[in-house]
Amino acid sequence: MAAIIFDLDGTLIDAAPDIRATANKVLAEEGAAPISLEETKSFIGNGARVFVERMSNLRNLPDAGFEARHRRFQQVYVEAHDHTVIYEGALAALGDLRAAGHRLGLCTNKPLLPTQSVLAHFELNGYFDHVIAGDSLSERKPDPAPLQAVATALGVSPVIYVGDSMTDALTAEAAGAPFLLYTEGYNHGRLAEMKRAATFRHHGEMVAQINAMLATAA
């Protein structure tokens, strides 16, 4: 038995279209131009507050309205999952890992309420034994505290962290956990810079990569 901990956006689900729709609704309410899908993806990874900061800076929105803008973004974001999809093969991989007896956790910088909402929407709740979101603790990734908190709650070892971004790679490194990189997420073209134990391009390959990592650890 091992603790397999996952990032969410860009690793198990593609939420970028809904994040973009949320951002553009908030921007439109302030009379600002929309952002593109590529701009959206480039802003993802460090939580909603940082996303709104980057979005605001791109459109030169006044600092004085930031807190209200951030609250509005979060309000819309909670139910934004109409355009989100689970990556092909991810659901089957989670099921196979549970069937093998592993304990699964989620460590995401996405705020808790939209995390809970999207997990419920896709009926993913039952796969995870513990969830830490971007506002669950005072720290967020790449600080190792969220990943360490999930690992402690799962209570088994070894620990493997599965993610798609530089934020995830740095989190795993800081926590001393081997990192399994999904190369088709929101890596922002920084694959060569990321320290990882292994990679996969399709979720159908993920379980085999995890098994190989566990065999090496043993």
Q: How many CB atoms sit inside 10 A of residue 193's CB? A: 11
pTM of the model: 0.93
CATH of the domain at 153: 3.40.50.1000
Active site residues: 7
Q: Do 61 and 169 fall into the same domain?
A: no
| Amino acid (one-letter) located at 81 | H
Q: Do 210 and 169 fall into the same domain?
A: yes
Indicate whether 212 pLDDT > 70. yes
Count Cα neighbours of 56 within 13 Å in the Cβ-side half-sphere.
18
Q: Do 94 and 54 fall into the same domain?
A: no
Q: Do 151 and 60 fall into the same domain?
A: no
28-56: pLDDT as tens digits: 999 999 999 999 999 998 889 999 999 99
Q: Do 193 and 125 fall into the same domain?
A: yes
Q: How many CB atoms sit inside 10 A of residue 75's CB? A: 12
Q: Do 7 and 23 fall into the same domain?
A: no
pLDDT of residue 217: 79
Q: How far apart are CA 209 and CA 38, in angstroms?
A: 29
pLDDT of residue 188: 82
| Amino acid (one-letter) located at 146 | P
- φ/ψ (deg, to 5) at 161: -110, 130
> Are the CB atoms for 157 and 129 separated by under 8 Å?
no
Q: Do 73 and 158 fall into the same domain?
A: no
In this prediction, residue 79 has a pLDDT band, given cuts at 50, 70 and 90, of confident
User: Which value, in Å, is the radius of gyration of the alpha carbons in the chain?
Assistant: 17
Instruction: Please state, for a pLDDT cut of 70, what percent of the chain lies above it.
Output: 100
Name the domain count of the chain. 2
Q: Do 89 and 188 fall into the same domain?
A: yes
- φ/ψ (deg, to 5) at 17: -60, -35
Residue bearing tokens 């088709």 = 184
> Are the CB atoms for 188 and 166 separated by under 8 Å?
yes
Domain boundary among 60, 77, 94: 77
Q: Do 115 and 211 fall into the same domain?
A: yes
CATH of the domain at 63: 1.10.150.240
> Are the CB atoms for 179 and 168 separated by under 8 Å?
yes
In this prediction, residue 218 has a pLDDT band, given cuts at 50, 70 and 90, of low
Q: Do 36 and 97 fall into the same domain?
A: no
Q: How far apart are CA 70 and CA 51, in angstroms?
A: 9
Which structural domain, as residue segments, surrounds residue 54? 16-77
Taking alpha carbons only, the member of 43, 41, 24 closest to residue 33 is 24
Q: How far apart are CA 68 and CA 82, in angstroms?
A: 24
Three-class DSSP category at 85: strand
Q: Do 135 and 63 fall into the same domain?
A: no
Indicate whether 189 pLDDT > 90. no
131-162: pLDDT as tens digits: 999 999 999 999 999 999 999 999 999 999 99
